[in-house]
């Protein structure tokens, strides 16, 4: 691999770790845990791994352990720092015994099931320290959930004499890691399973897990770009920029970027949902800000829109489920729809909605009619493999700007000229910030300590991360502790509870207190690119979200 000049310079960075991990340690058991809700159901689903105690590490005697073989899987969407989790894990198991081996399963859980793997040597690991991406072994979205898959996996684990598996993933992947831990315990397979909290979306967090890795770096990359765009719009004074940001359902990314850049508007899906704010209200609010700024000679601005917004707007839920039903795989209506030329599909859908009889039928037809062409077509055309609309593909940024334009008065001296952006792929594989480089390395190293102390069904936990890294606290949390029951595809199943933006919490409250000021005045902040070599206040700062959450 040819490296860029910055990669060469950055390779030498030694990630910082909690002091406790820098010497011999022992696992100290804390309280017996319970799931966040639905205790008896979770316990029934996980008889072997439910109710375990939290683990903290303390200084312990130096003991000699035999070498171990460990497997690692990257699961789901990329997040900055994945390579450092693997590097920390590698260094950790080599510390346990220099003869330990690390195997990486290729392209996600598929690698385990299909027995595709790569022995990770010193040389390979060194190539990837402090780099972005998941390309050391690749990632994938196959769900590891059936007994057959678990058994297939066990075959190769046995063959390679692997006694512990680390799964790096988001809430779904960690839920599945727990199922695997449970199964391997139940059949006495002799394989421990440890999870690591990954996702740029920032929605895998709770009392025990402060943040998921990658959120810091991704938000910093997006904020760099938003700041640059704000400076552009403040210089040219002629465009309104509508910027959609990744983050799936949760608005953490949008909220964090808003704190870092102080845009004129930032929509928060959770607020839209909780306060039942209609599409018309959203659009009118933005239009009013545009009018006020225009009248004040400021016909420019920046609007942040979270990726998942549309699902949280009250009137879209019935519309989307009606369309999903109409286009359900292999239904007669789907067959009819598919035969139509694209140009006739919108009017066909409009007609179908008008024929609807349910309580939402009238509202659905009216909403669909009000939508800009591009979004109406996206709602009908872009389906996933289940036939459901792919909400993330809908160009909400264009929908909102087009509907805003229709609300503006004509004949003003000021003009409304929108520009559109969607940022996501730009940040998922950025090289990790110091924070993520340290946090990920510590998570991986912590995973090795949980393995050495015989744990399974735990997630690696590193806390107190707004303090200097040496003071961070490392331990393990039973995954079942984070679970509750939810209905997915019609079935009630145990899952790790997603953390959406909490409107009562400091990050949202701080934003809400400032946003009127930001809307009318131009209060942009230009955070600039991630720095690796400068003063610590520039290079080592965690997210505003974390700082505000800690300030409580």
The residues binding a second copy (CB under 8 A) are 2-7, 9-10, 77-78, 107, 131-135, 138-139, 221, 224-225, 227-229, 231-237, 239, 241, 260, 262, 342-343, 373, 419, 421, 425-431, 523, 525-535, 537-538, 541
> Residue 543, SS3?
coil
**Measured between alpha carbons, how far is 460 from 473 in angstroms, rounded to an integer?**
11
Mind giving me the DSSP string for 446-506? HHHHHHHTT--SEEEEEE-TTS-GGG-EEEEEEGGGGEEEEEETTEEEEEEPP----TTSH
Minimum distance from residue 457 beta carbon to a second copy (Å): 28
| Two structure tokens written together for 396 | 């909400």
In 3-state terms, what secondary structure has residue 53? strand
Q: Which residues of 358-395 are buried (b: 16+ CB within 10 A; e: fewer)?
A: eebeebbbebbeebbeebbbbbbbebeeebbbebbebb
Q: How many CB atoms lie within 10 A of CB 337?
A: 18
Residue whose pair of structure tokens reads 């690796």 in the numeric block: 532
CB of 251 to a second copy, least distance (A): 22
CB of residue 417 to a second copy, shortest distance in Å: 11
Residue 413 sits at φ, ψ, to 5 deg, of -75, -25
State which residue, 192 or 261, has the beta carbon closest to a second copy.
Answer: 261
SS (H, E, C) 293-306: HHHCCCCCEEEEEE
From the candidates 91, 172, 201, 203, give the one annotated as an active-site residue.
201
Query: Residue 67 or 528: which CB sits closer to a second copy?
Result: 528
Separation of alpha carbons 287 and 407, rounded Å:
6
State the nearest-atom distance from the C-beta of 435 to a second copy, in Å: 14
Residue 552: CB atoms within 10 Å: 6
> Strand ranges (DSSP E) for 260-299?
265-266
The first and second tokens of residue 109, run together, are 């859980």
Contacts of 284 by beta carbon, 8 Å cutoff, 6+ apart: 407
CB of 365 to a second copy, least distance (A): 19
Instruction: Work out how close the CB of 212 gets to a second copy at its nearest, in angstroms, rounded to a whole number.
Output: 17
Least separation, in Å, of the C-beta of 223 and a second copy?
9
Q: Based on CB atoms, which residue is closest to a second copy, 4 or 161?
A: 4
Written in H, E and C, the secondary structure of 189-216 is CCCEEEEEEECCCCCCCCCCCCCCECHH
Nearer to a second copy, 213 or 239 (CB): 239
**Known catalytic residue: 135?**
no
CB of 421 to a second copy, least distance (A): 8
Q: What is the separation, in whole angstroms, between the first and last Cα of the chain?
A: 46
Nearer residue to a second copy within complex by CB, 398 or 463: 398
- CA dist 281 and 287 (Å) reads 10
Least separation, in Å, of the C-beta of 229 and a second copy?
A: 5
Cβ atoms within 10 A of the Cβ of 62, count? 7
192 membership: H or E segment, kind and range: strand 192-197
**Closer residue to a second copy (CB): 105 or 316:** 105
Provide the minimum distance between the beta carbon of 43 and a second copy in the complex, in angstroms, as a whole number. Answer: 36
CB nearer to a second copy: give 285 or 370: 370
Q: Which is nearer to a second copy, 208 or 531 (CB)?
A: 531
| Nearer of residues 184 and 518 to a second copy, judged by Cβ | 518
Taking the least distance from each CB to a second copy, the nearer of 429 and 482 is 429
8 A C-beta contact, residue 517 and residue 292: no
CA 47 – CA 330 distance, rounded (Å): 40
- Residue 128 in tokens: 């990837």
Residues present in the chain in total:
552
Query: What's the DSSP call for residue 105?
Result: E
- CA 150-499-86 angle, to 5 degrees, is 50
The answer to whether residues 327 and 386 touch, using CB atoms and an 8 Å cutoff, is no
Q: Which residues are catalytic?
A: 201
């Amino acid at each position: 691999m040819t490296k860029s000049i910055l990669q060469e310079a950055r390779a030498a960075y030694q990630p910082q770790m909690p002091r406790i991990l820098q010497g011999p340690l022992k696992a100290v058991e804390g309280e017996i845990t319970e799931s966040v809700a639905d205790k008896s159901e979770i316990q029934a689903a996980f008889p072997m791994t439910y109710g375990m105690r939290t683990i903290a590490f303390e200084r312990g005697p130096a003991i000699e352990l035999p070498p171990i073989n460990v497997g690692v899987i990257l699961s789901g969407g990329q997040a900055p720092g994945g390579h450092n989790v693997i590097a920390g894990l590698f260094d950790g198991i080599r510390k346990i015994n220099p003869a330990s081996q690390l195997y990486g399963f290729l392209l996600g859980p598929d690698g385990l099931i299909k027995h595709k793997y790569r022995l990770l040597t010193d040389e390979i690991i060194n190539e990837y320290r402090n780099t972005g991406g998941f390309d050391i072994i690749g990632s994938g979205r196959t769900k590891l959930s059936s007994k057959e898959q678990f058994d297939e996996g066990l075959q190769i684990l046995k063959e390679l004499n692997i006694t512990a598996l680390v799964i790096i993933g988001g809430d779904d992947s960690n839920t599945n890691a727990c199922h695997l831990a449970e199964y391997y315990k139940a059949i006495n397979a002799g394989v421990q399973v440890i999870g690591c909290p990954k996702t740029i979306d920032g929605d895998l967090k709770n009392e025990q897990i402060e943040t998921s890795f990658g959120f810091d770096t991704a938000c910093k990359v997006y904020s760099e770009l938003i700041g640059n765009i704000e400076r552009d719009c403040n210089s040219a004074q002629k465009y309104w920029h509508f910027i959609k940001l990744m983050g799936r359902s949760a608005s953490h990314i949008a909220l964090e970027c808003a704190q870092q850049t102080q845009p004129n508007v930032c929509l928060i899906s959770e607020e839209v949902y909780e306060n039942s704010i209609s599409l018309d209200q959203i659009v009118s609010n933005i239009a009013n800000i545009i009018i006020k700024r225009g009248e004040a000679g400021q016909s420019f601005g920046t609007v942040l829109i979270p990726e998942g917004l549309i699902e949280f707007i009250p009137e879209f839920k019935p519309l989307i489920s009606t369309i999903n039903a109409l286009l359900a795989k292999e239904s007669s209506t789907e067959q009819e729809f598919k035969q139509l030329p694209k140009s006739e599909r919108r009017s066909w859908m409009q007609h179908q909605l008008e024929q609807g009889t349910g309580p939402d039928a009238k509202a659905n037809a009216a909403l669909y009619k009000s939508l800009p062409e591009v979004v109406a077509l996206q709602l009908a055309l872009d389906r996933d493999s289940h036939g459901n609309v792919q909400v993330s593909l809908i160009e909400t940024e264009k929908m909102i700007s087009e509907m805003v334009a229709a609300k503006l008065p004509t004949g003003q001296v000021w003009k409304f000229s929108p520009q559109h952006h969607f940022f996501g792929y730009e940040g998922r594989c950025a090289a990790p910030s110091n924070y993520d480089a340290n946090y990920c390395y510590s998570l991986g190293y912590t995973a090795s300590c949980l393995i050495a102390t015989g744990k399974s069904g735990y997630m690696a936990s590193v806390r107190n991360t707004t303090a200097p890294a040496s003071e961070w606290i490392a331990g393990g949390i039973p995954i079942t502790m984070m679970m509750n029951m939810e209905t997915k595809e019609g079935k009630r199943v145990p899952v790790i509870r997603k953390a959406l933006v909490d409107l009562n919490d400091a990050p949202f409250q701080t934003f809400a207190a400032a946003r009127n000021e930001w809307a009318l005045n131009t209060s942009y902040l230009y955070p600039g690119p991630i720095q690796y070599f400068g003063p610590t206040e520039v290079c080592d700062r965690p997210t505003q979200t974390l700082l505000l959450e800690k300030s409580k």
